[in-house]
Structure 1
Amino acid sequence: MAPLGRAEMVRRIVEEGRPVAEVAAGFGVSERTARKWLGRSRKDGAAGLENRSSRPRSVANRTQDPWIDLMEKLRREYRLTAEEIAAKLRLSRSTVAAWLKRRGISRLKSLETPAPVVRYQRQRPGELLHLDIKKLARFERVGHRITGNRLGASANVGYDFFHVAIDDATKLAYVEVLPDERRQSTTGFLIRALRWFRARGIRGKRVMTDKGSGYVA
């Protein structure tokens, strides 16, 4: 319905005092629609009967991209705070803080360039051997995670110690399961590991270990 038709519909309701439902039916619209235009006419006059744009009058918290990029530049290059950026750009602090958070740069530590990962992997076989020990509990029977029965647990069964030697360059590994991690065991394991690698053409030159008791005793 055109604005002129809406004006006529409202006139008949207001000036002629005719029932809203009757006038609405005569114009082919619902009573609800007729009451909507009647309400707009009473509120805004003739302007209320014009077509309204579906575009919002304003968009909350809209900040143009150039401003956002400038905020990021001031933050990254000059390490300015949200308050300082807001003062320079004449924006509210909350707006600046919200966009810095959205860009993931609200915290100073997020501006730091991550340190490159330093790898010590050797290029030549045998140049470096890694030694490690993994302590694992022994089992006499299948555990409760399989059977669902916690009764009859394997008590005081002890542990096995997996001694591992890995060549840093080739990742070739030698493993033994020993009863402990004492100095005698670790020394014997190292000798056997070196022999094993040598039999495969790899001569161990350096060894890297953690600070386990078997290595520092």
Structure 2
Amino acid sequence: MSVSTAQRWAGRYRELGTAGMADRSSRPLACPRRTPTRTERRIIKVRLARRWGPARIAYLLGLVPSTVHRVLTRYGLARLRHVDRATGQPVRRYERATPGELVHVDIKKLGNIPDGGGHKIHGRQAGQRNSSAHRDPARRRKVGGRPNLGYSYLHNAVDDHSRLAYSEILPDETKETAVAFWQRAQTFFHASGITVERVLTDNGSCYRSLLWRDTLADAGITHKRTRPYRPQTNGKVERFNRTLLDEWAYARPYRTETERREAFPRWLHTYNHHRGHTALKGQPPASRVPNLSGQYS
């Protein structure tokens, strides 16, 4: 150690004896350059009123982002991802106790890829040319002469407890298509040893239909819908949609829609059986469904 450190410890021992050898706080007695209380209050006020991050608050108040972050940390304000943007209150997270107690259902709409690849591979000019050459002739051009290639509709069902997912790429989102999808999804969950008790959807027209209501009622399943404009309530399947886009739909540059669809079943199998899920402590969804892993209990 340095001479000054040895001298300091020796001085403490001479003055206080053994008690002087205890560790002391390194916090300074005075902090003349600490952010003024008035500035701290302004930072907190902006955070609560507008729910901005440190960078935007810093630009508004003429401060350094690290200073704003330090103030927010000092007062224990939640991270923005833990805050409901609509109300400013901490997000209430929940998880059902058993598989099948609640299944989240939703539809994700994706634009089809033209043969040869779209603008993500070739740029706008070449991508537009491929789109024009391979557009769906049964669909009209809708916006400013742009080609309409049609859409794929991913119907998704995610178990709340295990995060086990069943998904299909279908041509539309009509009530007949949605009901047929759910019947296949229910068969999948049943084969996995899961008895579905309740289904949660948004307020899409197919989920408000009498056909959907009667199908679930005949199977003894309770149907719940989210409040309008509150997708957070159906957050588990919404998060699955985002994962699906990041890790499959836009994970690499596909050259045809067929190529992308052929990669989907393998990705879905990986998601259910091999991909670690952060909410499951790094384990895949199959680890919470004994029948899938062959471990009956």
State the TM-score, normalizing by the size of structure 1: 0.50
Deviations 1:119-175 (A, max 9, x none): 132120000000010111112320122123132324332111100000010010001
SS at match of 1:152: helix
**What does residue 129 of structure 2 align with?**
151
Structure showing greater radius of gyration is 1
How far apart, CA to CA, are the structure 1 residues paired with 2:148 and 2:31?
A: 70
| Residue identity (%) | 38
What does 1:1-217 align with in structure 2 at a 5 Å threshold?
65=30, 99-102=36-39, 104-106=40-42, 107-108=44-45, 109=48, 115-141=89-115, 142-148=117-123, 149=126, 150-153=128-131, 154=135, 155-217=147-209
How far apart, CA to CA, are the structure 2 residues paired with 1:67 and 1:140?
A: 64
CA RMSD of superposed structures (Å): 2.8
Unaligned runs of 5+ in 1: 1-63, 70-97
1:100 deviates by 2.1
Please tell me the residue identity of whatever aligns with 2:96: R
Equivalent residue pairs, number: 125
How far apart, CA to CA, are the structure 2 residues paired with 1:152 and 1:177?
A: 23
How far apart, CA to CA, are the structure 2 residues paired with 1:152 and 1:67?
A: 65
SS at match of 1:151: helix
Please tell me the residue identity of whatever aligns with 1:146: I
**Cα–Cα, structure 1 residues 207 and 67, in superposed 2: closer, same or farther, change >3 Å?**
same
**Cα–Cα, structure 1 residues 187 and 67, in superposed 2: closer, same or farther, change >3 Å?**
same
1:112 deviates by 9.8
SS at match of 1:122: coil
How far apart, CA to CA, are the structure 2 residues paired with 1:117 and 1:68?
A: 35
Please tell me the residue identity of whatever aligns with 2:130: G
State the TM-score, normalizing by the size of structure 2: 0.37
